Structures are given as C-alpha cells and as structure tokens.
Structure 1
C-alpha cells in the first residue's frame, strides 16, 4: 500500500555544468562555500597582511610611510576584503564547531546559524569599513 502512494519522481544525483547556474543552494550551503572562499582569500592575502604588519612594527618612519600607503583607496579596499574574509571565516568556523558538537544540526538550525554568521560578519565588516574610510 505504501508503494502505491509513493510518487515516482526522477532522481538526479549528478549536476552537469549547464545546470550549475540554475541550481539553488540552501543558505547553509552558501555559507559553507563562502567559508572556503574566505579561507582561500586569507591564505592568498597572508603575505600582504604580514608585509603590512612588519612595516607597522619596523620603525616610526616606516609606520608613517604605511599611514601614507593606507590613504590609497585600493589598499583600503584590500584591507576591507581581508577584514571581511577574517570576520566571515571566524564566525563560520564557530558555526562549524557548533555543528561538530551536534548542536543545531537540523534544517532549521542550519538556516538559523547560517543567518547569524552572515549578519554578524556583515555588521563587523560595516563597522570596520566605517573606521577605515573615516566615518568614525
């Protein structure tokens, strides 16, 4: 009787290249992919970040030179991207640690924690952007 009620639906397990643009990920899946992207960005921009840190600690003259370097809009945008990547990677990492403890593993919990990660990282990035661009 259960077999008669069961609908026969096509089952597609593999996604082709042409279907990628039409495929809709849930919010938790998007956060997972963005966590990987932010980790890659942090890794690739690590030499730039270490260079800035090294220049800020070398001497007062190099610190003043670095302050002039930070007046460039491109550098400010790169620092903002680094800040977003760090904030997002940090909060998403906490989310995945929470998931590892089998907390909020349900569909609703995954959506809620993904939303929290996006909101917290966005708010922190906006606050950092306001500071970098001189709003406060």
Structure 2
C-alpha cells in the first residue's frame, strides 16, 4: 500500500508551485502594484517633505535641493516617484469606483486596469520630458 493522491497515482509527490509561471490577470497586477506603490509612497513622502522644508528655509537650502536635480540618478528617482504617485492615485480611484459598482464588470475592470497602467506610465513619461 502506497500513498495515493486524488488522481490515483501511486507514490506521487506534490508538484513544485512556481510563482513565475502563473499568468495573472491585468487587474490582479494593477491591484498588487497599488499596494507596492502605497508602501513606496509611505517611505518616500518623508524624504520629499524634508527636501521641501530644506528648499523653503533659505536661498542656500534651495540651491542645495536644486543641485540634486543635476544628478541623473536623482532625476531618475524623481521620475520613478512621479510614476508611483500617479499609479497609486489612478488605481485608488479605480478601486473607489469599483466599490460603488462602477466598472466592476469583467470587461470594464480589465479596461480600467489597462487605463491605470498606461496612464501611470504616460504621466511618468511627461515628467521625464520636463526633468531630462
């Protein structure tokens, strides 16, 4: 007598569950990105407030903050932060509308998820055009 699984195969072992092979719907990816961008905002906003405070203190502080924008890395992080903010606001609006049953049907939900994803990238590209 051996171990039998549901299919009746003798001695079979559980299949390795590979998360990279799962194809998630666009709505699920948008929802996950909404959570990730929320965490990113919670971590990044205090730094942004610090930079705003520094720039408003005096002319020397303003010059220090503006000198950061000469760095390509800082500009890239600023563009990424614009995408984070745009995606989070758009996805949050989508979730709020879905809560009141607007756009919660399958086709409308897929369409709105694509609008959120493409809209966030478009806003980030507009910011990149002004920062680069």
Same fold (TM over 0.5): yes
Can you give the 5+ residue segments of structure 1 that lack an aligned partner in the other structure?
1-9, 11-15
Q: Deviations over 1:38-96 (max 9, x none)?
A: 11111111222111111121112211121112111111111111111000000000100
Moved more, 40-49 or 23-32: 40-49
Q: State the structure with bigger RCO (CA 8 A, min sep 6), 1 or 2.
A: 1
- Using the size of structure 2 for normalisation, the TM-score is 0.84
Task: Work out whether 1:58 is the aligned partner of 2:57.
Answer: yes
Moved more, 52-61 or 105-114: 52-61
Q: State the SS of the aligned residue for 2:85.
A: helix
Cα distance change of structure 1 residues 42 and 56 upon mapping to structure 2, 3 Å threshold: same
Runs of 4+, deviation exceeding 2 Å: 16-19
Can you give the 5+ residue segments of structure 2 that lack an aligned partner in the other structure?
1-6, 8-14
Q: Number of aligned residue pairs: give it.
A: 119
Task: Work out whether 1:23 is the aligned partner of 2:22.
Answer: yes
Q: Deviations over 1:81-120 (max 9, x none)?
A: 1111000000000100110111111110110110111121
- Using the size of structure 1 for normalisation, the TM-score is 0.82
